[in-house]
Structure 1
Amino acid sequence: MPDTAADRSETGEASDVALFAEIPLTKQDILNCSYSNWYNKFNKHTLSRVEILKPIPKEFVDYLASDEFTLPKEAPHESSLFTKPRCNSDNEYSDWEDDELVETSNNSKRPDPTLKFNDFHNDVKRVFTEFKSVAPKLNWSAPQDSTWIMVNKTMQCHSPSDVYLLLKSSDYINHDLYHAFDGLDDQTPVEPSTFDYELVLREWVDVNPSMEFRCFVRDRQLIAISQRDLNYYDFLEEIQDQVLEKIAMFFDDVLLPKFDSNSFVFDVYIPKTIAKVFLIDINPFARKTDSLLFSWHELATLKVDDDDVKFRLVTKYNTGQFASKAHGQNHVPKDVLDASLDTAGMIELAQRWAKLLSSDGTTNLQDDDDDDDEDDTDEL
């Protein structure tokens, strides 16, 4: 039966967050959710064409893990990151032109990083001859947290340079490389030699974010559905019964017979015509997966009948959602993000910033923090 986010506070379902429910997770559950492990079973139900480059060479993994942000030297202006400014009456000459020359000179002295994985780099370039643009990901995660660095603020990549910069800037990608098997019931270390890292390049397709849904399966039963984009869309309440029916049929007819894990999370996209369900991704049923409008304690302990699927939507416009935008912690300094969630904190930050601007240039925010600490100590 569909319910809403507001129902949680009314029923007290989220009041027991202090309790910790165990969620079983095995190595095989993680491997089952690796993109190439499920794609061949369900590729007829995905949204776009996909190229999977596997295995990723060790040299490329080392490049992603390194702190150096040198990008491929060839054809840099094919990337959306390097749009050459056009001269006009307002910018015929400025200091940044000299800075650009210095930066270009410095980059020219650095070795091209792709020399260490040239064959793999050529494979990536080949994909761009087939797909005009792509959305990248590794085995489990997409670099959604690093889209702030892109001009279009999306994962749409027009060149290998775009792909590499997104991947290198993402904590999610770092998770795939070094923490994918954290939290397993079996604490035996997972050797990298037992599986292959892969680069998934999905042909870019524009979708309506209001029609993306995350679905939770526990013990081979669909128990909950949440909208993925946490903004308010008034029309969703009118069509939620149709959406629920479509997703339930898709789960019963497509996923349940072929997917091997008993518990998992899958993402779908449904066009507004509600004519078809497209599979976007499959994730582990684990706390590392975003539970969106649910809590993981709820999902682990929820008691539902066979046909009783909890369906949650954002039911009212919430201006506070903009302050806590997804991955916002990656866009701005942490002090700014924390202050944006608290009025008093925002006022304090503004006062500190005004003090900094009125100083003689020797004051900085760290000094101001130290002064604040001293004041607090005196008060105590």
Structure 2
Amino acid sequence: MLESQDLKLFSIHFWYEKFQSVALKTILIEIPPILLQKLQSDESDVNIEEICPHEFVTEVKNAINTLDKNVFVKNNWHAPMDAKMFSFGNQLKVTNLDDLSLFLSASNIISEDFSTQSSIPFYIALKPWKSIHPASEFRCIVVNKVLRGITPRDWPTYYAHFKDEGPVIIETLSNFYKENIADVFPKRHYTFDVIISFPDQPCIIDFGPLNSKTNLYAFSWKEISSLFDKEVPEEVAPIFRYLDSDIGIMSRTDAIYKFANAFT
């Protein structure tokens, strides 16, 4: 669960409008009280069509149809990743209301998010389903409003093209951050996730807090947290950390250790 101060700033309903032109298309629908109550009570087998107001049901159906009946779903902050096991093909693909009901009611992640007391509205966020190559997804780490680290989200997996394309990836994401995010997102320390599909510009997937619970993939919290008190010029290039050779199966810890002290 997010810290209370992060609930609003990292909720997609807060940031999506500001970054809509450079983010993955999303349809936001506010959750009615009756459905929220069911999800908060951790009640299984929630049937959206049976319990929810007709207007909400119609809005959700229209959104699913608008997205060609191939939809990825999340709430304000998280996707129901722990409910994938109940799906066909182990995918969080929504094609109808039954799929949506299943993922929302079967997910402890969703239940925990919605159990928090907050003055902000709760949403479902529906996005077009995309088959995204793991090598195109990156987590970017911002410290003191400077982009300091870039890591593949599929870590530690070796991709040979990173060695040649690394400088282009660094330049692309640095320019994208400066032009679209740096002066807009209000926090000093945070992460943002993007997809790069050349020749298109990067596309924002999500924003997240930067703390000891954040998955930093190729980086450790110890080395990133040490940067908090260090002011650096905005011109400093971020470190793009990736495996530069195919060294077989490695644990995340071993892979991080291989690159220790990169910021010193």
TM-score bracket, normalised by the shorter chain, equals 0.7 to 0.9
AA matched with 1:129: N
**Cα separation, 2, equivalents of 1:308 and 1:41:** 25
- Whether the 8 Å contact between 1:224 and 1:310 is mirrored in structure 2 is yes
1:26 to partner: Cα distance: 7.3
Aligned to 1:43: 20
Does residue 146 in structure 1 map to residue 83 in structure 2?
A: yes
Task: Give the structure-1-normalised TM-score.
Answer: 0.59
Aligned to 1:299: 224
Secondary structure (helix, strand or coil) at the match of 1:265 reads strand
**Cα separation, 2, equivalents of 1:227 and 1:70:** 36
Output aligned runs, 1:88-167, within 5 Å: 114-119=49-54, 120-132=56-68, 133-167=70-104
Q: Which deviates more, 311-320 or 289-298? A: 311-320
Q: Which deviates more, 164-173 or 224-233? A: 164-173
Task: Give the structure-2-normalised TM-score.
Answer: 0.83
Match for residue 238 of structure 2 among 298, 309, 312: 309
Between the two structures, name the one with larger relative contact order (CA 8 Å, sep ≥ 6): 1
The change in CA–CA distance for 1:168 and 1:286 in structure 2 (over 3 A counts) is farther
Match for residue 252 of structure 1 among 172, 178, 181: 178
**Cα separation, 2, equivalents of 1:39 and 1:258:** 12
Cα RMSD over matched residues? 2.4
Output aligned runs, 1:207-246, within 5 Å: 207-230=132-155, 231-246=157-172
AA matched with 1:50: T
The change in CA–CA distance for 1:71 and 1:139 in structure 2 (over 3 A counts) is closer
**Cα separation, 2, equivalents of 1:275 and 1:118:** 40
**Cα separation, 2, equivalents of 1:53 and 1:169:** 20
**Cα separation, 2, equivalents of 1:146 and 1:232:** 28
Secondary structure (helix, strand or coil) at the match of 2:181 reads helix
- Whether the 8 Å contact between 2:82 and 2:108 is mirrored in structure 1 is yes
Secondary structure (helix, strand or coil) at the match of 1:319 reads coil
Output aligned runs, 1:165-176, within 5 Å: 165-176=102-113
**Cα separation, 2, equivalents of 1:161 and 1:176:** 21
Is there any run of 5+ residues in structure 1 with no aligned partner, and where? Answer: 1-24, 73-112, 180-190, 322-380
| Deviation per residue, 1:261-302 (Å, 9 max, x gap) | 11111000001x254111111111223332212122221113
Percent identity between the aligned chains?
27
Secondary structure (helix, strand or coil) at the match of 1:257 reads coil
How many residues end up aligned between the 2 structures? 243
**Cα separation, 2, equivalents of 1:30 and 1:66:** 20
- Whether the 8 Å contact between 1:45 and 1:277 is mirrored in structure 2 is yes
Aligned to 1:53: 29
- Whether the 8 Å contact between 1:30 and 1:284 is mirrored in structure 2 is no
Does residue 290 in structure 1 map to residue 215 in structure 2?
A: yes
Aligned to 1:64: 39
1:305 to partner: Cα distance: 4.3
Which one has a larger percent helix, Structure 1 or Structure 2? Answer: 1
Which one has a larger percent strand, Structure 1 or Structure 2? Answer: 2
Does residue 195 in structure 1 map to residue 195 in structure 2?
A: no
The change in CA–CA distance for 1:114 and 1:247 in structure 2 (over 3 A counts) is same
**Cα separation, 2, equivalents of 1:71 and 1:26:** 27
**Cα separation, 1, equivalents of 2:248 and 2:85:** 22
1:252 to partner: Cα distance: 0.7
**Cα separation, 1, equivalents of 2:79 and 2:208:** 12
- Whether the 8 Å contact between 1:50 and 1:203 is mirrored in structure 2 is yes
Larger Rg: 1
| Deviation per residue, 1:324-353 (Å, 9 max, x gap) | xxxxxxxxxxxxxxxxxxxxxxxxxxxxxx
